[in-house]
């Protein structure tokens, strides 16, 4: 379904973004492995080193990749999941913007094809938005699957204490959480739906205000609004329910069902309202 819309150039772009995402998630380990030779060199010149001269020499002869894979105990999803949430907050909006450009290109072709057929045009636009909205959602899910598979190479449990603490144990959602794998699946299903609806909102902003203005409004909502430091009171309660919080679901412990689904519900209402505005405008 999606493969009929995107071509090899789009796939190459998303592959590059995926590689950049994985690089950002594992950057601290890459950086640590890269700086290991200099640390070993300093240790060999120090009298306080815990390693024997033979062990130091053996470690110094290792390649960058060997130093990197020596850290694989830290590659569990328990360690990388929260890192990914921080990266996702920056990367997924970029993927959504790429979808906006793809959407406007295809839409221009639809306009030429459906001149004088407004009903059919709106139907095609809705279908196109539904299909394209799957791209960022699948991107996030595929990244999680890759991180999960990488975590299987670790010598530590892949799903640990982070997932145990991720949800509020006194909330109704605790009835769903049988084990840590179930926690991951539930959160990622919610994230998939949330990113799908968030992308539809972005596309409908584009439909309403144009490509550049739509992107600007979307980025303000995603990246500028969270900057305002509100920590208490009614404004804080309102802020944590805004659409951008869809992208940080899973970053904090003790999450309730209300906190998970309310931002999605609010985003869906705004998206539906924009669709009605766009439809009424076409009919006029």
From residue 80, give the alpha-carbon distance in Å to each of 14, 136, 212. Answer: 20, 20, 34
- Give me the pLDDT at residue 63, please: 78
Q: Give the list of residues 6+ apart from residue 45 with CB closer than 8 angstroms, or none.
A: none
3-class secondary-structure state, position 177: coil
Kind and range of the H or E run holding 46: none
Q: Say if pTM beats, i.e. exceeds, 0.85.
A: yes
Residue 206 · residue 103 · CB < 8 Å: yes
- Give me the pLDDT at residue 32, please: 85
Q: How many residues does the chain have?
A: 284
- Give me the pLDDT at residue 94, please: 95
pLDDT of 8 above 80:
yes
pLDDT of 1 above 60:
no
3-class secondary-structure state, position 167: strand
Tokens of 97: 């913007």
pLDDT of 240 above 60:
yes
pLDDT of 125 above 90:
no
């Amino acid at each position: 379904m999606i493969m009929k819309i995107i071509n090899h150039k789009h796939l190459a772009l998303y592959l590059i973004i995926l590689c950049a995402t994985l690089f950002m998630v594992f950057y601290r380990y890459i950086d640590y492995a890269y700086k290991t030779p200099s640390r070993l060199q300093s240790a060999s010149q120090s009298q306080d080193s815990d390693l024997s001269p033979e062990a130091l020499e053996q470690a110094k002869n290792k390649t960058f990749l060997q130093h990197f894979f020596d850290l694989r105990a830290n590659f569990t999803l328990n360690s990388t999941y929260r890192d990914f949430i921080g990266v996702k907050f920056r990367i997924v909006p970029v993927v959504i913007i790429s979808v906006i450009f793809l959407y406007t290109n295809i839409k221009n072709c639809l306009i030429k094809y459906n001149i004088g057929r407004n009903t059919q045009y709106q139907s095609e636009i809705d279908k196109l938005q539904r299909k394209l909205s799957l791209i960022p959602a699948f991107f996030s899910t595929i990244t999680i699957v890759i991180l999960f598979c990488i975590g299987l190479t670790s010598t530590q449990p892949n799903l640990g204490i982070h997932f145990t603490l991720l949800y509020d144990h006194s909330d109704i959602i605790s009835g769903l959480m049988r084990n840590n794998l179930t926690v991951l699946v539930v959160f990622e299903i919610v994230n998939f739906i949330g990113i799908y609806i968030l992308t539809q909102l972005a596309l409908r902003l584009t439909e309403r205000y144009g490509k550049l203005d739509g992107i600007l409004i979307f980025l303000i909502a995603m990246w500028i609004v969270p900057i305002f430091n509100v920590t208490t009171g009614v404004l804080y309660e309102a802020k944590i329910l805004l659409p951008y919080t869809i992208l940080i679901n899973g970053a904090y412990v003790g999450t309730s069902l209300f906190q998970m689904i309310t931002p999605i519900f609010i985003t869906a209402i705004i998206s539906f309202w924009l669709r009605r505005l766009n439809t009424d405008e076409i009919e006029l």
